[in-house]
């Protein structure tokens, strides 16, 4: 293919160690050690985590697993794939936080192993091992692997689509088992599954990446080799049936809500109030790839130098197709999300494999010259950034959470292990040891955060405890209400529909006339509720900054008689 040159010497000279199966098992064990412990301990995080498990619960309750419903109303913003994964998990393991998050854990495992396979495919087995291990413990992928939201499921399908494409194009090392036709069909089918997970993004992200790769590798005519007509058919066979079904039930309003309101308007307008500058994602990614931030920046700098420095000096193409593919994966998605008018940190999760591949590539380049200034800069700057994160982050968290600084530092203390990886490298001169110690530090750090810190932080909201302790009191109440707060997990823990009372638009007489007696609010809003209803609450239960109130039934009955 045009643009293909001899492999980089450092990559070619690196010797693979172990077998791919052993490496996959090792990386999978590390990943499960960082994601499974305490998976069900933290309550659902509002607002995002509250929506998806509750929608799956209501779908199960109604007996329709294809038509998403939340709080008794249609929920058309996201397709059905993640909801189905949630319902299956609930059926098998019961309806709790552990089961709600398990689909993301399994998707994350696929995400890690695909990144490992991509590294081995594009460079060599050792690069693949580094890529898999780095992904398994990187901050943002780990966080979203433990979260009941669809972003990790989207990311694994997008990654599978791109991985299948690179196998179909025989990019990187070729094996005797390659069957390019079937890999190509898998690429289209995976894009269809991604579309079923989060809508058009599932097609846009791999599509733009592949187009950019073909263009910059000098093979734009290769688009015709991708069998587009067959591919479109495969994609539609996977993605279209659910959309056709929903259109048959709800007609044009469904199409308008899903495609126009939730996708087109989300990208091109600030209607959903998640705006940010064009540089919004730069700090997100720099923090999200921790503790491999410096390795990623080094890999990005190395590949840019190769593309725009060496190539320009020599006057010919020295940019390998493998590097073009990784660079397009990162660059296209980064640009696409940066120009969106709606921005959230979780949106960029599908580009992490490319970032990790750049980091693994850089580590592998330095592995054969451990005494180089770059290798020492990598480990010591990482240690310095980790120390700065612990001190600055501890101070900020202590203020926000109103916790003792000593308690916060205890929660962050496992970061010392990552700092200790630098002197380990100083004595052993092996980057493998630095990577291993840093990965171990992340495993311990996440165990402390998820096992100790997050449950303690949740006392500031305490929706789960208030809901479960008083759930028996709601048995004769068809609906509950919330005032000045909105936490969708309240529905999941109570099993009730909830009126999200808007004090600027709603009249209290309406919800009270419908028999609502229980209200979740915050401490500072108690006076407002007493003034609005004209009656003192009959019962009040406090925890953290949340209050669960019972409005006196006798006052409500008198008002209802004259309603």
State the maximum Cα–Cα separation within the chain, in Å, rounded to a whole number: 89
Instruction: State the average pLDDT for the chain.
Output: 87
Q: Tell me what the mean pLDDT of segment 459-469 comes to.
A: 81
Of residues 453 and 172, more confidence is placed in 453
Predicted local confidence at residue 2, as pLDDT: 38
Asked whether the predicted pLDDT for residue 312 surpasses 50, the reply is: no
Task: Read off the pLDDT of residues 210-233 as tens digits, 9 standing for 90 and up.
Answer: 999 999 888 877 788 888 999 999
Of residues 85 and 554, more confidence is placed in 85
Asked whether the predicted pLDDT for residue 468 surpasses 70, the reply is: yes
Quick one: which of 171, 178, 26, 33 has its CA closest to 113?
26
Asked whether the predicted pLDDT for residue 280 surpasses 70, the reply is: yes
What DSSP string describes 358-408?
HHHHHHHHHHT-TTSHHHHHHHHHHHHHHHHHHHHHHHHHHHHHT--HHHH
Asked whether the predicted pLDDT for residue 3 surpasses 50, the reply is: no
CB 353 within 8 A of CB 118: yes
Predicted local confidence at residue 311, as pLDDT: 46
**In sequence order, what are the residues at sequence separation of 6 or more whose Cβ sits closer than 8 angstroms to the Cβ of residue 414?**
441, 444, 445, 447, 448
- Residue spans of the domains in the chain: they are 17-263, 373-458, 463-561
Of residues 177 and 153, more confidence is placed in 153
Q: Tell me what the mean pLDDT of segment 356-367 comes to.
A: 95
pTM over the 0.85 mark: yes
Task: Read off the pLDDT of residues 177-207 as tens digits, 9 standing for 90 and up.
Answer: 567 889 999 999 999 999 999 999 999 999 9
CB 113 within 8 A of CB 24: yes
Predicted local confidence at residue 397, as pLDDT: 72
Instruction: With residue 551 as reference, give the H or E element that holds it.
Output: strand 546-551
């Amino acid at each position: 293919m045009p643009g293909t040159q001899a492999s980089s010497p450092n990559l070619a000279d690196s010797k693979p160690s172990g077998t791919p199966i052993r490496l996959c098992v090792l990386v999978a064990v590390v990943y499960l050690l960082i994601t499974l412990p305490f998976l069900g301990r933290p309550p659902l995080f509002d607002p995002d985590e509250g929506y998806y498990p509750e929608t799956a619960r209501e779908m199960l309750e109604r007996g329709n697993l294809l038509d998403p419903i939340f709080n008794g109303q249609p929920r058309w913003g996201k397709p059905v794939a993640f909801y189905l994964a949630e319902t299956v998990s609930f059926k098998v393991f019961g309806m709790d936080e552990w089961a709600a998050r398990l689909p993301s854990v399994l998707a994350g495992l696929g995400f890690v192993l695909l990144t490992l396979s991509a590294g081995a495919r594009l460079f060599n087995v050792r690069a693949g091992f580094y890529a898999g291990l780095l992904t398994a413990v990187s901050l943002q992928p780990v966080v979203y692997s433990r979260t009941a939201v669809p972003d990790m499921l989207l990311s694994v399908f997008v990654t599978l689509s791109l991985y299948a494409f690179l196998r179909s194009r025989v990019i990187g090392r070729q094996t005797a088992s390659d069957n390019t036709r079937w890999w190509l069909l898998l690429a289209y089918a995976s894009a269809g599954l991604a579309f079923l997970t989060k809508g058009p993004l599932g097609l846009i992200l791999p599509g733009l990446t592949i187009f950019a790769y073909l263009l910059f590798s000098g093979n734009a005519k290769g688009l015709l080799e991708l069998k587009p007509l067959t591919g479109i058919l495969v994609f539609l066979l996977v993605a279209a049936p659910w959309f056709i079904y929903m259109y048959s039930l709800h007609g044009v309003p469904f199409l308008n809500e899903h495609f126009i309101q939730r996708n087109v308007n989300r990208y091109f307008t600030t209607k959903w109030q998640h705006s940010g500058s064009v540089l919004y994602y730069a700090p997100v990614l720099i923090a999200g790839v921790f503790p491999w931030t410096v390795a990623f920046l080094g890999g990005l700098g190395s590949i840019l130098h190769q593309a725009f420095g060496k190539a320009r000096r020599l006057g010919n193409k020295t940019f390998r197709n493998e590097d073009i593919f990784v660079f397009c994966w990162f660059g296209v998605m980064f640009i696409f999300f940066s120009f969106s008018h709606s921005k959230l940190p979780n949106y960029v999760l599908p580009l992490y494999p490319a970032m990790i591949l750049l980091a693994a590539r850089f580590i592998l380049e330095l592995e054969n010259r451990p005494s180089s200034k770059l290798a020492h800069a990598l480990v010591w700057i990482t240690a310095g950034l980790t120390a700065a994160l612990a001190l600055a982050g501890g101070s900020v968290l202590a203020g926000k959470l109103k916790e003792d600084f000593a308690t916060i530092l205890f929660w962050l203390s496992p970061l010392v292990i990552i700092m200790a990886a630098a002197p380990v490298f100083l004595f052993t001169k092996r980057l493998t040891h630095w990577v291993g110690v840093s990965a171990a530090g992340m495993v311990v750090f996440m165990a402390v955060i998820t096992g100790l810190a997050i449950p303690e932080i949740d006392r500031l909201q305490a929706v789960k405890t208030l809901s479960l302790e008083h759930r028996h009191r709601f048995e004769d109440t068809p609906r509950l209400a919330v005032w000045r707060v909105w936490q969708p997990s309240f529905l999941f823990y109570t099993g009730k529909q909830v009126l999200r009372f808007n004090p600027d638009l709603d009249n209290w007489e309406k919800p009270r006339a419908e028999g609502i007696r229980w209200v979740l609010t915050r401490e500072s809003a108690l006076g407002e509720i007493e003034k609005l209803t004209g009656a003192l609450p009959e019962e009040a239960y406090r925890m953290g900054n949340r209050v669960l109130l019972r409005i006196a039934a006798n006052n409500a009955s008198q008002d209802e008689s004259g309603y």
